[in-house]
């Protein structure tokens, strides 16, 4: 089987890489050699080929195909792509979704073998029924009082409470923003959330590069997609009716009554300060409160965009300040603590049960968890409530 030069070129452009970036990343000092490879004039050495496969995030077999493989199945793409949209982000997103689809498929198959029951609320409502019906369905499923959510000390704790209620009814809620390292980070502008509306193993993925105050809103937005039975990716920009619908469901859940009146005489900065103060007291994001003001007709769309732009700037500035002021010896939580938090209790319990019952091999459990096989035991063993057995030490 011979290499297909057209596929080599397709893989590079699909990864959003220029000739210069691809040549440099694959260890070729000049683009001439890459041009020869893509034209079929030169057959790359195996080390170069392996470097290209890693750089393009494709299997080696892809380069030998007669035609390009199908794009990662995003379901429906609910995003509105801005003019300055970067192709690199989409390439990373497709790689992430291919990985998530494979992981979800393994979870689904295992749960089917366990004769798990279908989750009733998946696909139980429709847009034509109105926001109130989907909102009522979510409230019935989550059994979370708004007073409980607002009583949490921090937005992260409020999100954890909401996440635990979603996981309790069988939804796997993951925090993912890259393909394993910060070098492959997927910006929030590319995706904010992703939902797989499967009745046996529904997945929700939240981009944890987003502000923590926004996580709860995104989770509820994606839960609304599950109620509608729609699989797809959501972003920061969209004019689609379904996205407005899901935003309204999330907004009504978190802020059913907007008891905030902005004095029209207030300056822009004072108005933003009032919104932020109101949001902090309720474990909400300021952008969500601004959106609610817009939907209620209290501010214009232009004003909303200005608020969101400023809030984005302030958030990025805060991130840079935190990074700059971090102490050199402050390493933060361990890899396994961070990984457990991102995977969530539902996924960890599933992995432990699958290994202990023999439903999945340790290697396949590693695939589900998105880690190397040698990390399965240390990832699960310290979480004593999952009762992981020591026989999985064999994966080391």
What span, in angstroms and rounded, lies between the C-alpha atoms of 356 and 387? Answer: 9
pLDDT at 385: 43
**Tokens 């902005």 sit at which residue?**
262
Terminus-to-terminus CA distance in the chain, angstroms?
35
DSSP structural state of residue 229: T
Q: Residue 274 above 50 pLDDT?
A: yes
* Mean pLDDT rounded to a whole number for the chain: 87
Instruction: Evaluate if residue 37 carries a pLDDT over 70.
Output: yes
How far apart CA 315 and CA 91 sit, in angstroms, is 26
* 63-72, 128-137, 169-178: segment of lowest average pLDDT: 63-72
Q: What is the arithmetic mean of pLDDT over 346-371?
A: 92
Q: What is the pTM of this model?
A: 0.80
Residue 333 pLDDT class (50, 70, 90 cuts): confident
pLDDT score at 384: 43
pLDDT-derived band at 329, boundaries 50, 70, 90 = low
- What's the pLDDT score for residue 75? 62
More confident call, 84 vs 91: 91
Binned at pLDDT 50, 70 and 90, residue 74 comes out as: low
pLDDT(396) > 60: no
**pLDDT at res. 56:** 85
Give the whole-angstrom CA distance, residue 69 versus residue 4: 13
| pLDDT tens readout for residues 176-231 | 998 777 777 888 888 999 999 999 999 999 999 999 999 999 999 999 999 999 99
228 vs 126: CA distance, rounded Å: 5
Q: Provide CB contacts within 8 A for 155, sequence distance 6+.
A: 212, 213, 215, 216, 283, 284, 285
Structure tokens at 214: 């926004």
Q: What is the mean pLDDT of residues 120-147?
A: 97
Helices (H), the chain: 5-14, 19-25, 31-39, 46-56, 87-113, 131-142, 146-151, 155-168, 212-228, 241-254, 268-280, 286-295, 301-325, 335-343, 345-357, 362-369, 376-381
What is the C-alpha separation between 199 and 220, in angstroms, rounded? Answer: 17
Between CA 200 and CA 138 the distance in angstroms is: 17
| Cα–Cα distance measured from residue 107 to residue 396, given in angstroms and rounded to the nearest whole number | 23
Whether residue 262 contacts residue 292, with contact meaning beta carbons closer than 8 Å, is answered with no
User: Which range (131-145, 225-239, 364-378) has the least confidence?
Assistant: 225-239
pLDDT in tens, 221-250: 999 999 999 999 988 766 689 999 999 999
pLDDT of residue 334: 83
Residue where the block lists tokens 């409160």: 289
Evaluate whether 395 touches 363 at the Cβ level (below 8 Å). Answer: yes
Comparing CA positions, the residue from 86, 131, 125, 57 lying closest to residue 235 is: 86
Side-by-side strand order, sheet with 193-196: 76-77, 232-234, 193-196, 203-206, 172-175
* Maximal C-alpha separation, the chain: 72
- Residue 88 has a pLDDT of 62
Q: How confident is the model at residue 71 (pLDDT cuts 50, 70, 90)?
A: low
Please determine, for residue 315, whether its predicted confidence score (pLDDT) is greater than 60. yes
């Amino acid at each position: 089987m011979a290499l297909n030069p057209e596929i080599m070129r397709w893989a590079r452009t699909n990864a959003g890489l220029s000739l210069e970036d691809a040549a440099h990343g694959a260890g070729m000092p000049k683009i001439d050699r890459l041009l020869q490879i893509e034209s079929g004039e030169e057959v790359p050495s195996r080390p170069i080929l392996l470097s290209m496969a890693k750089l393009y995030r494709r299997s080696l077999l892809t380069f030998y195909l007669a035609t390009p493989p199908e794009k990662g199945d995003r379901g429906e793409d609910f995003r509105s792509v801005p003019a300055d949209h970067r192709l690199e982000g989409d390439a990373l997103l497709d790689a992430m979704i291919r990985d998530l689809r494979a992981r979800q498929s393994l979870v689904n198959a295992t749960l089917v073998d366990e004769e798990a029951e279908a989750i009733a609320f998946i696909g139980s409502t429709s847009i034509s029924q109105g926001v109130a019906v989907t909102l009522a369905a979510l409230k019935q499923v989550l059994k979370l009082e708004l007073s409980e959510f607002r009583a949490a000390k921090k937005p992260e704790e409020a999100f954890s409470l909401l996440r635990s209620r979603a996981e309790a009814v069988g939804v796997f809620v993951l925090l993912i923003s890259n393909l394993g390292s910060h070098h492959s980070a997927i910006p929030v502008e590319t995706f904010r959330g992703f939902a797989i509306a499967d009745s046996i193993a529904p997945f929700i993925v939240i981009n944890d590069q987003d502000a923590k105050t926004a996580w709860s809103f995104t989770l509820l937005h994606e839960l609304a997609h599950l109620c509608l039975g729609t699989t797809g990716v959501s972003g920061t920009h969209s004019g689609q009716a379904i996205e407005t619908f899901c935003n309204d469901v999330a907004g009504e859940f978190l802020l059913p009554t907007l008891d905030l009146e902005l004095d029209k005489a207030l300056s822009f900065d004072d108005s933003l300060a009032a919104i932020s103060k109101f949001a902090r007291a309720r474990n909400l994001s300021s952008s969500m409160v601004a959106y609610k003001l817009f939907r209620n007709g209290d501010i214009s769309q232009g004003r909303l965009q200005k608020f969101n732009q400023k809030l984005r700037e302030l958030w990025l500035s805060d991130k840079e300040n935190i990074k700059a002021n971090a102490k050199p010896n402050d390493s933060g939580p361990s890899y396994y603590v961070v990984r457990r938090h991102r995977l969530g209790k539902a996924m960890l319990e599933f992995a432990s049960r699958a290994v202990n019952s023999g439903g999945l091999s340790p290697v396949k459990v590693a695939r589900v968890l998105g880690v190397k096989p040698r990390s399965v035991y240390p990832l699960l063993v310290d979480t004593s409530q999952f009762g992981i057995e020591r026989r999985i030490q064999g994966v080391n």
